[in-house]
Amino acid sequence: MSPSHSPLEIRPGRHLDWPTLAVAAAIYSGWIVVTARHGSIPTPLLVLSGGWLLAWHGSLQHETIHGHPTGIRLLDGAIGFVPLALWLPYRLYRSSHLAHHASPAITDPHEDPESRYVDRRFGLAWLAARLQSTLPGHLLFGPPIAIARFAAHESRRAVSAPLQVARDWLPHLLAVGLLLLWLDHVGLSITRYVLFFVYPGMALTNLRSYAEHRADLATKGRAATVERGGPLALLFLNNNLHAAHHERPGLPWYRLPSYHREHRARLIGDGAVLYGSYGEIFRRFAVNAHDAVLHPQYRDKSA
Give the whole-angstrom CA distance, residue 46 versus residue 37: 10
**Rounded Cα–Cα distance for residues 88 and 81 (Å):** 10
**Amino acid sitting at position 141:** F
- For 247-261, the DSSP string reads HSTTS-GGGHHHHHH
Secondary element (H or E) of residue 121: none
- 232 pLDDT band, cuts 50/70/90, is very high
pLDDT at site 11: 46
Which residues, 6+ apart, have CB-to-CB distance to 260 below 8 Å? 225, 227, 241, 243, 244, 267
Q: Using an 8 Å Cβ cutoff, are 227 and 81 in contact?
A: no
Give the percent of the chain with pLDDT over 70. Answer: 94
Tell me the residue type at 159.
V
- What is the mean predicted confidence (pLDDT) over 12-22? 82
Q: Any alpha helices (H) in 161-216, and if so which ranges?
A: 162-186, 190-193, 199-209
pLDDT for the residue 2: 37
pTM confidence score: 0.93
pLDDT at 209 over 90: yes
* Lowest mean pLDDT, pick from 158-167, 254-263, 265-274: 265-274
Integer CA distances (angstroms), 188 to 83, 102, 182, in order:
16, 40, 9
Band the pLDDT of 302: cuts 50, 70, 90: low
Instruction: In whole angstroms, give the CA distance from residue 267 to residue 204.
Output: 25
3-state DSSP percent of the chain in helix, strand and coil, to 5: 60, 5, 35
For residue 38, which of 50, 53, 29 has the smallest C-alpha distance?
50
Please state the rounded mean pLDDT for residues 146-158. 97
| Chain segment 91-135, per-residue pLDDT in tens | 999 999 999 999 989 999 999 999 999 999 999 999 999 999 999
CA distances from 297 to 106, 129, 207, 293 (A): 12, 16, 25, 11
DSSP state of 14: -
CA 302 to chain centre: 29
Cβ atoms of 60 and 23 closer than 8 Å:
yes
What is the overall mean pLDDT for the chain? 93
Coil, strand or helix: which one is 222?
Answer: strand
Domain ranges of the chain: 18-298
3 pLDDT band, cuts 50/70/90, is: very low
Question: Using alpha carbons only, what angle is made at residue 49 by residues 38 and 282, rounded to the nearest 5 degrees?
Answer: 145
